């Protein structure tokens, strides 16, 4: 078999894996991204471990709870005049108001990192690991790495503006981890609907481990320039992925959705 044929067959296999994954996620409450498990044995249910969020987490949709692919709450946030003026400049494609060719969504048009808290709208897992002074969050989307410092430092008074901001965290009790983030780059949106923020944005995330398998996340956004009052998101729900699940890569460039090799393979009759 020629190297070209081998390459085409690999491309076909990759596409089939992608289609299978997307089909599974559409019919299931949870999907574990594009990574591969090295051990198919499931985690055992049980009580939550003490001060431990480690592992790969994927978002689920319990029956009867609000979930949107573009915003945080059923009702829009209350905005200041500044916030309303900024929203008027947004051309989001997620609610159907603008096409992909018309949108000015910074993630879609410039491949900007989504920022906090928008990163949670991407339907891919994230992994939590620890070092002595920080909690590290590894997002499958675009190789995004986030450092949450747990060495006792406060949020900086004059932070350097970063795509994911400057985050510090602490344990409120044995199952509740609280993260506050400031200094989030103003070029990011709060959600996928086009709500924007100023350099005064402060995001608080409360991770509550319910038991060994389930995690809840509550998010509050405060910005005196853009928001007339804090925007409190509906609770997000996550399930622990199978042991040793390995994150793959999802690139903003869209390479993982490039069907050109697959189409060429079909045109050549699969040889």
Q: pLDDT tens-digit profile of 224-270?
A: 999 999 999 999 999 999 887 889 888 887 654 443 443 343 345 44
State residue 264's pLDDT score: 45
199 Cβ contact partners less than 8 Å away, ≥ 6 residues apart: 161, 183, 184, 186, 225
- Which conformational region is residue 152 in: left (phi greater than 0), alpha (psi within -120 to 50 degrees), or beta? left
Of the two residues 193 and 43, the one the predictor is more confident about is: 193
Bridge-based pairing state of the strands 166-173 and 145-149: parallel
Average pLDDT of the chain to the nearest whole number: 83
Least confident span in 53-57, 94-98, 255-259? 255-259
The answer to whether the beta carbons of residues 241 and 42 sit under 8 Å apart is no
State residue 172's pLDDT score: 98
Enter the pTM of the model: 0.80
State residue 252's pLDDT score: 81
Read off the tokens for 180. 């506050």
pLDDT at 21 over 90: no
State residue 42's pLDDT score: 63
State residue 239's pLDDT score: 96
Q: What DSSP character marks residue 271? A: -
State residue 105's pLDDT score: 94
Query: What mean pLDDT comes out for the span 4-30?
Result: 37
Least confident span in 4-8, 39-43, 163-167, 242-246? 4-8
Query: What mean pLDDT comes out for the span 86-103?
Result: 90
Query: What mean pLDDT comes out for the span 172-187?
Result: 98
State residue 253's pLDDT score: 73
pLDDT at 215 over 50: yes
Using a pLDDT cut of 70, give the percent of the chain over it.
77
Of the two residues 122 and 204, the one the predictor is more confident about is: 204
State residue 198's pLDDT score: 98
Half-sphere exposure of 78 (CA within 13 A, CB side): 5
Of the two residues 237 and 13, the one the predictor is more confident about is: 237
**Number of Cβ atoms within 10 Å of the Cβ of 98:** 16
């Amino acid at each position: 078999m020629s190297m070209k044929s081998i390459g085409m067959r690999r491309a076909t296999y990759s596409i089939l894996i992608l289609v299978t994954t997307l089909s599974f996620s559409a019919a299931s409450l949870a999907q574990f991204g594009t990574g591969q498990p090295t051990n198919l044995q499931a985690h055992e249910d049980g009580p939550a471990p003490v001060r431990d969020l480690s592992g790969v987490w994927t978002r689920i949709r319990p029956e009867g709870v609000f979930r949107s692919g573009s915003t945080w709450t059923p009702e829009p946030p209350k905005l200041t005049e500044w916030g309303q003026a900024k929203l008027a400049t947004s051309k989001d494609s997620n609610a159907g108001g603008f096409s992909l060719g018309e949108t000015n969504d910074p993630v879609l048009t410039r491949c900007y990192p989504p920022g906090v808290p928008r990163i949670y709208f991407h339907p891919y897992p994230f992994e939590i690991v620890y070092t002595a002074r920080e909690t590290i969050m590894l997002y499958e989307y675009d190789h995004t790495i986030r450092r949450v410092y747990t060495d006792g430092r406060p949020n900086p008074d004059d932070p350097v503006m970063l795509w994911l901001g400057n985050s510090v965290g602490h344990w409120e009790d044995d199952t509740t981890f609280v993260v506050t983030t400031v200094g989030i780059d103003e070029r990011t949106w709060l959600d996928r609907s086009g709500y924007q923020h100023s350099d005064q944005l402060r995001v608080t995330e409360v991770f509550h481990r319910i038991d060994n398998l389930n995690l809840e996340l509550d998010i509050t956004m405060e910005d005196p320039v853009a928001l007339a009052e804090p925007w409190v998101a509906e609770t997000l729900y996550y399930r622990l992925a199978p042991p040793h699940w390995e994150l793959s890569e999802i690139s903003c460039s869209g390479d993982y959705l490039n069907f050109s090799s697959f189409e060429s393979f079909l045109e050549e009759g699969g040889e």
